[in-house]
Amino acid sequence: MRTELVATALKNAAATTHIGPDAIWHSDRGSQYTSAGFRALIADLGMRSSMGRTGVCWDSSMAESFFSALKNERVHRTVYATKIRAKRDVMSYIEGFYNSRRRHSGLDYRRPDEVHYSYQQPPMAA
């Protein structure tokens, strides 16, 4: 895992959605997340960094659940001829199904996009 990979992913996310002031980036203590370059990117985006303690897996259960679903529902059922096709298919799964149509028990049976965009909507007056 390279710093450039996770930095590019975060930059892509920042380019396509609003990141609120003091948003928290939570990660493990991998070298890609602790690098000076990545930490500078976090600061440049107005975010705060949060890292789990070494050997504690409980704080990453949501990410573990996502990767389990990705592998079981898509990747392990597909043969990819090239890395480009794999990348496109994974992005299609995430954006076209996982975030927009798949309901999650941890989100009160709502879709991730539904929850995400509800945070960006101003509260309705009574």
Q: What is the pLDDT of residues 61-79, one digit of tens each?
A: 777 788 899 999 999 999 9
The secondary element (H helix, E strand) that includes residue 68 is: helix 61-73
The rounded percent of the chain whose pLDDT value lies above 70 is: 90
Of 99, 45, 40, 27, the C-alpha closest to 70 is 99
pLDDT tens across 8-35, in order?
999 998 998 888 888 888 887 788 888 9
Is residue 30 classed as helix, strand or coil in its secondary structure? coil
The angle formed by the CA atoms of residues 14, 31 and 52, to the nearest 5 degrees, is 75
Q: Is the pTM higher than 0.85? A: no
